[in-house]
Each structure stands twice: as structure tokens, then as C-alpha cells.
């Protein structure tokens, strides 16, 4: 039976807002950020004719709770709460960017809840995950004046001194640089940002990277896994390849002439990766 609707799932501190559509094996979408509005609605149309697609606004922004704590563990627990309330024992988890990094933590800590894993151009599992390369390449793709302004705004955001409007201004300035052809980049979707979620979740990410959490845990993961990477992404493909190498049997698909939001430049690419994972279950 095809499902379509919205619900609020109770979590500590309030609730997270969930959208679902389609019918078939469940696919859980995790948006990037952290602290951004959910933007995975744009990938739903290529999935919902064959899968039950679930997405939710991560805590930090309405219509979900604005309250923390904003840690990797809390974000994991929120995702599991969504599956629990919807009565889903196992789902293929598709995560974009930070959401891809979160999806790897879910696989590492709760493999029994995953039927498959598709990280889409994720922050990596080793070293700094590609964070420094991301910042450098984005800066290289914009003018020096824009790069300086973005660096200033990001520093203020991480220190908890900036405003949401400033952080969104910085994101809008670099948005075109996430794509192969910045001049032809699609418009940035309507977006909000939670600075507490952004800065505190990054603190948690950095803590786990320093401890080597994923490096230690991912080699035991056995769920079918496909990494979908953009050849021209500001997160160089070697970070995704190194993460995939930690998971037994994981495969990398590198889409040429694609940046960070792969499905926007290669429609159908996420569907193909999910189909492959589903066939390998």
C-alpha cells in the first residue's frame, strides 16, 4: 500500500517531524548540514515509485524540536526513533554529506537496523574526513573576497558568536562552488540553520574522528554498501574511497562531472545505488 503523510515522532526534548511517501522496501534519508533544513525532498521523486521513502527534519530547526543535545549519538537515536514509531525493523539508509557521515555511525553502532547503506558524497570516516580539503577547495572556487567573508562568518558560527542570517549568507555565497559548473548551479533551496546544532554537532564529529570511532567499528559492518561520490565534489573522492575501504564488500560509484549534491547533476544516480544495495540484500 502506498503511504503519504507527515507525523511528529516524540524524542527527548520534543519531537522530530517526519515525511513519508511511496511503497516498498523502506529507505531512510538523512540530510546534510549539520544544523540545516532538510533538503532531501529533491531526491524523493526518483525513489518513491519503488520504495517507501522516509525523511525527517533533524533536531535544531522547526518543525522539529530546536533543543539539543546535538551529538552524533543523539542524532543516531532520533533516526532510530523514527524507524521505531513507523514500525520499520530495517531500512536502507541514504545519507548526504553530514547525513552520509551519520549513516556510517548508524551502521557502526546499529547494523541490525540497516538493510543497506548508501552514503552520498559524505564527510569521510578517517582523519578529518576531508573537512580541510572541503574548506580549501570551496575557497579556491570563489573570489578571494568571498572566501575571506565566508571564512570570517564560519569562524563566528563555530564560536557561537554569529547569527543564523550570517551563516546562511555564507552558505549562499559558496553554494555554486559545490557544483561542477558554478555558473550553472541550480538555485539554493529555501534553507534555515541552527547555529547551536551546527557548532555542537561539529564538536561531536571532531571528537569521534579524533578517537577513530568509525575507523575501529566499520570493519565489522557487513550490510550491503554503495558509496556514491561526485568526481568534482569539494570533498575529494579519496575520502569516500578510504571510508568505503573500511567496510567489507563496499563499492564506490564515482559520477563524472558531478559535484557534492550528486543527484541534482546526475538524476537517477541515487536510485541506481539503492537498487544495487537492495539487489545485494
Higher pLDDT, 114 or 148: 114
Residue 47's nearest CA partner among 27, 32, 31 is 27
Give the strand pairing for 3-11 and 14-22. antiparallel
Specify the 3-state DSSP secondary structure of 8. Answer: strand
Residue 2: pLDDT over 60: no
Average pLDDT over residues 31-43: 97
Domains and CATH numbers, the chain: 3-127+199-279 (3.40.50.1820)
Question: Phi and psi at residue 74, in whole multiples of 5°?
Answer: -70, -40
Least confident range from 3-7, 111-115, 261-265: namely 3-7
Q: In this prediction, what percent of the chain has a pLDDT beyond 90? A: 88
List Cα–Cα distances, 242 to 124, 237, 257, in angstroms: 8, 9, 21
Mean pLDDT of the chain: 95
Residue 91: pLDDT over 70: yes
- 3-state secondary structure string across 209-274: HHHCHHHHHHHHCCCCEEEEEECCCCCCHHHHHHHHCCCCCCEEEEECCCCCCHHHHCCCHHHHHH
Reading the block at residue 115, the C-alpha cell is 538493510
Q: In this prediction, what percent of the chain has a pLDDT beyond 70? A: 99
Amino acid at each position: 500500500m502506498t503511504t503519504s503523510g507527515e507525523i511528529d515522532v516524540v524524542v527527548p526534548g520534543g519531537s522530530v517531524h517526519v515525511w513519508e511517501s511511496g511503497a516498498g522496501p523502506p529507505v531512510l534519508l538523512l540530510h546534510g548540514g549539520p544544523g540545516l533544513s532538510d533538503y532531501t525532498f529533491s531526491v524523493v521523486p526518483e525513489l518513491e515509485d519503488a520504495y517507501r521513502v522516509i525523511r525527517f527534519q533533524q533536531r535544531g530547526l522547526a518543525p522539529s524540536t530546536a533543543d539539543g543535545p546535538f551529538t552524533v549519538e543523539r542524532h543516531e537515536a532520533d533516526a532510530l526513533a523514527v524507524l521505531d514509531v513507523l514500525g520499520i525493523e530495517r531500512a536502507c539508509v541514504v545519507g548526504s554529506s553530514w547525513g552520509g557521515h551519520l549513516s556510517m555511525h548508524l551502521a557502526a553502532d546499529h547494523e541490525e537496523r540497516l538493510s543497506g547503506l548508501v552514503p552520498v558524497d559524505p564527510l569521510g570516516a578517517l582523519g578529518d574526513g576531508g573537512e580541510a580539503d572541503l574548506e580549501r577547495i570551496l575557497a579556491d572556487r570563489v573570489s578571494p573576497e568571498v572566501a575571506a567573508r565566508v571564512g570570517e562568518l564560519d569562524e563566528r558560527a563555530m564560536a557561537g558568536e554569529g547569527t543564523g542570517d550570517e551563516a546562511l549568507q555564507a552558505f549562499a555565497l559558496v553554494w555554486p562552488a559545490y557544483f561542477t559548473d558554478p555558473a550553472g548551479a541550480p538555485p539554493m533551496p529555501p534553507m534555515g540553520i541552527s547555529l547551536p546544532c551546527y557548532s555542537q554537532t561539529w564538536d561531536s564529529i571532531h571528537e569521534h574522528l579524533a578517537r577513530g570511532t568509525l575507523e575501529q567499528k566499520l570493519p565489522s559492518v557487513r550490510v550491503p554498501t554503495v558509496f556514491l561520490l561526485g568526481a568534482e565534489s569539494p570533498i575529494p573522492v579519496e575520502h569516500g574511497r578510504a571510508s568505503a575501504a573500511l567496510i567489507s564488500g563496499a563499492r564506490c560509484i564515482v559520477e563524472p562531472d558531478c559535484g557534492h549534491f550528486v543527484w541534482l547533476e546526475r538524476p537517477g544516480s541515487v536510485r541506481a545505488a539503492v537498487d544495487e544495495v537492495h539487489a545485494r540484500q
